[in-house]
Amino acid sequence: MLIGAIALSLLFVLGCSPRPLFWNTLYKGDHEDYYSSRFLVAAADGDLDYIRKHLREHPNPDDDRGDWGSTALALASSRSHHSIIEILLEHGANPDEAVPHGTPVSISIFSGDKIAFDLLLKHSKPNYQRSDGLSYLHMACSYLNPKDDAVNHFVSALLRTGLDPNHPYPDGNLPLIHLIGNQRELAIITVLQHRADPNRSNAKGISPKSEASRMVEVAEKTLARSEQRLREFDSGEKSIWSRADLVNYISWDQEKLARSKRILALVCQ
């Protein structure tokens, strides 16, 4: 009881509620000091009312970049604040504006946010490339973070704008090869429908067909290794895994092998 009373007294001294306390310490350190702008804090927090108020007085949302060079649109995109993304785009925010961690579009791809991506793409240049030559299509095909359906969504939307599915990465690799390596089955079907060439080789002489064949071989070896571990376990050998773990690994490896074989069949059609 005494501790609770002391805590309540401190809250009244520091602002009568927990909100000012955290705003002036932890919250401010995480947001205000980092972004150095109430407008950017609002974009990160999803404070639509403040965003509207700010834009009435300062109509160009990209003017405020804070000390770290970020934009309100990039922050809203990273937090999936879709209503704020919409209003910022209506006020001319640039979805291709480079910030330290990408662009608003590339951030939505990395996050796997299909809604944000669709909003941003309407105002974007689909053929945008970074200074190193990496395009949005390249990012969609190579990022590991998004789920399969999101990757397919991004790839499909970008290809519908007329992008070339065979346009190589800066290092000479190909979108289809990246998709095969990441086992993005849905997106592989999509790029093949848009005439990605399964016979075209990358800068190292690797073609999508040869990469798909290699993935099958790797999956077969991995499955065989997992099955061998289970046999050794059943014969009494010590193992850091339980039998249930080993059975699960075999199940996962079987699934990966089946997927690899489906992908190989797709590129060999």
pLDDT by 10s per residue, the chain, length 269: 444 444 434 333 333 333 333 222 222 334 444 456 899 999 999 999 999 999 999 999 999 988 888 999 999 999 999 999 999 999 999 999 999 989 999 999 999 999 999 999 999 999 999 999 999 999 999 999 999 999 999 999 999 999 999 999 999 999 999 999 999 999 999 999 999 999 999 999 999 999 999 999 999 999 999 999 999 999 999 999 999 999 999 999 999 999 999 999 999 99
Encoding tokens for residue 228?
């061998």
Query: Mind listing the pLDDT tens digit for each residue in 8-18?
Result: 343 333 333 33
Distance CA 145, CA 127 (A): 22
- Please list, residue by residue across 187-209, b when 16 or more beta carbons sit within 10 angstroms of its beta carbon and e when fewer do: bbbbbbebebebeebbeeebbbb
Show the tokens assigned to 168.
């190589």
For 247, the token pair is 């059975």
Residue 129 pairs in a beta bridge with: 135
Would you say 140 and 157 are in contact if contact means Cβ atoms under 8 Å apart? Answer: no
28-95 folds as 1.25.40
Q: Which pTM does this prediction carry?
A: 0.84
Non-local (6+) Cβ contacts of 51 within 8 A are 39, 42, 43, 72, 84, 87, 88
Provide the residue ranges of all domains of the chain, joining segments of one domain with +.
28-95
